[in-house]
Amino acid sequence: MTMGATLAEKIIARASGRQQVAPGEIVTCTVDLAMMHDSGGPRRIEPLLERLGARVWDPDKVVVISDHYVPAVDAQSAAILDLTRRWVAENGIRHFYDMQGICHVVLPERGHLRPGMFVVGGDSHSPTGGAFGCFMFGVGATDMAGVLVSGETWIRVPATICIRVDGTFAPGVSAKDVVLHLCARLGMGGARYQAVEYTGSAIGTLPMAERMTLANMAAELGAQTGLIAADEVTADYIRASGGDPGDFTHWQGDADAGYRQVHDVNASALAPQVAAPHSPANAAPVNEYEGLRVDQAYIGACTGAKLEDLHMAAAVLRGRRVAENTRLLVAPASRLIAAAAAADGTLAALLEAGAVLMPSGCGACAGYGAGVLADGEVCISSTARNFKGRMGGRGSRVYLASPYTVAASAVAGAVADPRPLLGESA
């Protein structure tokens, strides 16, 4: 008797032109879309294509987004951006978003993703696209060059781990807390080279921004991708972004699909989480780190500065002030998000509390541009990673948390539980 297929297996089977695939098989897949940014894209791809004497197989299936070196802070950054803009023009890439925000946010908000697509991205957090029912994963420059020339890539079909999230999120608890909890529970390599599929009653209640956080940080679990089957919430987001969700009901895992493991998370029992340096796997309930003084609070990155993330921070900060001797930096994940936050009063609430508004882009999350840390400084951040030296000096220390917890910590000047500030008991 044949076992049902997971969502990952269904998408890979379609992309490889087969009726079905099984974990461990190596297949060649047709790529529906390739995404690159200014750091790992044209400046690394151009010399490879020149050496091959090759050109892009289909410019309309390539999206380029400048987000790492924007805005340029020195001559080297400006040169990288100049090369990116020139390469895009020379290769006829129509889908180029220059200084519009972080690639993992801009790609879906401009309507490029739909359920069932097989997508490659030139960045380790490319699994974000899996929130839209795509199989999207990150590749390096050499593999990306192969995709750009041939429109194909190979893949070893991954087994799938099911993460079943049930219950109701309490005020002050978010998807970021779920994934930090999972990093501690499963470890950084707990899903290595596998697909993670999020299911359960709590997932259906989440807006797309929260689902994107779960898919994004599947990378921190070592997974090849993170997936969430599409529903009406997905379809509504895609339509509002100018895209077409297609027959999204088709792209669902079978009820009898074979998962390698199933892990249950009770959202109702989950407390806000904080991950200590220098790994997301060092996560524990916030009370274990409460009172630890912070020099900087950072709300930014693809994981922590979408519109809903800014709403979380504003819910904590309204009517309050950032503590003296603590700085709060806010870098909206895209210009569209910044505009929406300005229109609905969110930015005003953040700025009135004492936040400093930063440009949209990867920025201090990856140690670029403004907002990096000095040796010895302590930061609490809504970003996905807190590796040694990632956000500045190698002697700095970064704690990861949700925007709720980052905002509460900015008010306290130390790691703090957001629930009391939201009228909830800890």
pLDDT of residue 363: 87
Residue 423, pLDDT score: 81
pLDDT of residue 191: 87
Strands 152-156 and 160-166: unpaired
Q: What is the crossing angle of helices 208-216 and 175-186, to 10°?
A: 20
Same fold, 9-265 and 272-421: yes
Whose tokens are 């994934």? That residue is 179
What pLDDT is attached to residue 189? 84
Would you list the domain boundaries of the chain? Answer: 9-265, 272-421
In a 10 Å sphere around its CB, with 0-12 CB exposed, 13-18 middle and 19+ buried, how is residue 116 labelled? Answer: buried
Average pLDDT over residues 332-355: 98
What's the whole-number mean pLDDT along residues 371-389?
94
Q: How many CB atoms are located within 10 Å of the residue 156 CB? A: 12
Q: In this predicted model, what pLDDT tens digit does every residue of 44-79 receive, in sequence order? A: 999 999 999 999 999 999 999 999 999 999 999 999
169-215 pLDDT tens trace: 999 999 999 999 999 999 988 888 999 999 999 999 999 999 999 99
Write the CA distances from 142 to 36, 44, 150, integer angstroms: 13, 9, 13
Confidence (pLDDT) at 368: 86
CATH fold group of domain 9-265: Aconitase; domain 3 (3.30.499)
Q: What is the pLDDT of residue 338?
A: 98
Question: Which pLDDT belongs to residue 275?
Answer: 98
The average confidence (pLDDT) of the chain is 96
CATH class, range 272-421: alpha beta
Confidence (pLDDT) at 100: 98
pLDDT of the residue at 3: 76
* Mean pLDDT computed over 282-295: 97
Tens digit of each residue's pLDDT (9 = 90 or more) over 293-342: 999 999 999 999 999 999 999 999 999 999 999 999 999 999 999 999 99
Residue 389: pLDDT band (50, 70, 90) is confident
Question: 231-238: long-range contacts at Cβ-Cβ below 8 A with a sequence spacing of 24 or more?
Answer: 231/204, 233/204, 233/206, 233/207, 233/208, 234/115, 234/131, 234/132, 234/133, 234/208, 237/108, 237/132, 237/208, 238/108, 238/111, 238/113, 238/114, 238/132
Q: Which pLDDT belongs to residue 426? A: 52
Q: From edge to edge, which strands make up the β-sheet containing 261-266?
A: 225-227, 195-199, 160-166, 261-266
Strands 378-381 and 397-400: parallel
pLDDT at 366: 85
Q: Cis ω on the peptide bond leading into residue 71 (within 30° of 0)?
A: yes
List pLDDT tens digits, range 75-108. Answer: 999 999 999 999 999 999 999 999 999 999 999 9
The one-letter code for the residue type at 132 is F
Q: Which of 111-125, 146-160, 289-303, 380-394 has the lowest mean pLDDT?
A: 380-394
Residue 152 or 190, more confident:
152
Q: What is the C-alpha separation between 163 and 400, in angstroms, rounded?
A: 21
Half-sphere exposure of 389 (CA within 13 A, CB side): 1
pLDDT score recorded for residue 2? 64
The candidate with the shortest Cα–Cα distance to 15, out of 32, 35, 33, 40, is 32
Q: Taking 90 as the threshold, does the pLDDT of residue 1 lie above it?
A: no
